[in-house]
Amino acid sequence: MKPSSHFWAGVRAELPLLIGVFPFGMIYGTLSIDAGIPLAAAQAMSSILFAGSSQFAFAQLVHESTPALVIVLTIAVINLRHVLYSASLAPHMHDLSMRWKILLSYLMTDEAYAVAVLNYERVGGTAGAHYYFLGAGLALWTSWQISTALGLWAGASLPATLSLDFALPLTFIAMVVPALRNRPAVVAALSAGLVALLTFSLPYKLGLILAALTGIVVGTILESRVERDGIPLGERRIASPPHPKEDK
């Protein structure tokens, strides 16, 4: 298969996911305006950082005048999952040049990873398979830039008296709930939420960092147990004690 065929196959695989991503890009752009982030800076975040959940967190923390160091640490913690993504794809990319590895690392997102890892599991390290990842990543990147720009335009057109403070929590809920597809994810989310409530009064929004770390640690531990045992946690059963033998 030609590299161009791999590329367009990746684009086509990513297209269904863009239906859900595009609205979030618009919401991010609109909320960035409400948070007081300059237009150029908000668009640059989508181009350089290119990480939806981190960008929403950035907008929220800027809106609340959080110290810069805490913002940086929060974004770093949120993006720790990309280390796991990269580790799982590394065996398929050991023959690629450093330029390719840097480019694909930049394009690594939840959605691009989701389609790329399925393709690698299907075709392995076939020559040109990285173009599939490139197609998926660029399709998402382009969609994110356009949707952000539209959101920024819409946000700049809203009356100054219209507050969108309520939209950020609702957006996070809409992003998190669909991801709760198994018990490790549910337990990780509940653990993070509990820690966030217990540490809400900590200064400099440190509770957010602790909550994110808790969710990552709990989720990683539970997922490793699932992989180790080969049995989904939700399907485990406690063994019943043997029935005592009846006396004859």
The pLDDT tens digits of the residues spanning 134-143 come to: 999 999 999 9
Q: Per the structure block, which two tokens stand in for 80?
A: 């720790």
Where does the chain show beta strands of DSSP type E? none
**pLDDT value for 46:** 95
Question: Half-sphere exposure of residue 46, counting CA atoms within 13 Å on the CB side?
Answer: 30
**pLDDT value for 237:** 40
Question: CA-CA distance, 177 to 164, in Å (whole number)?
Answer: 21
Q: Global pTM?
A: 0.70
**pLDDT value for 239:** 40
**pLDDT value for 174:** 57
CA dihedral 30, 47, 84, 134 (to 10 degrees): 120
* Under 8 Å between Cβ of 55 and 41: no
Domain range list for the chain:
3-164, 180-233
Q: Could you tell me how many helices (H) and strands (E) the chain has, helices first?
A: 11, 0
Q: Which residues of 213-230 are buried (b: 16+ CB within 10 A; e: fewer)?
A: ebbbebbeebbeebeeee
Q: Which residues of the chain have pLDDT under 70?
A: 125, 158-179, 204-205, 227, 229-248
Q: How many residues does the chain have?
A: 248
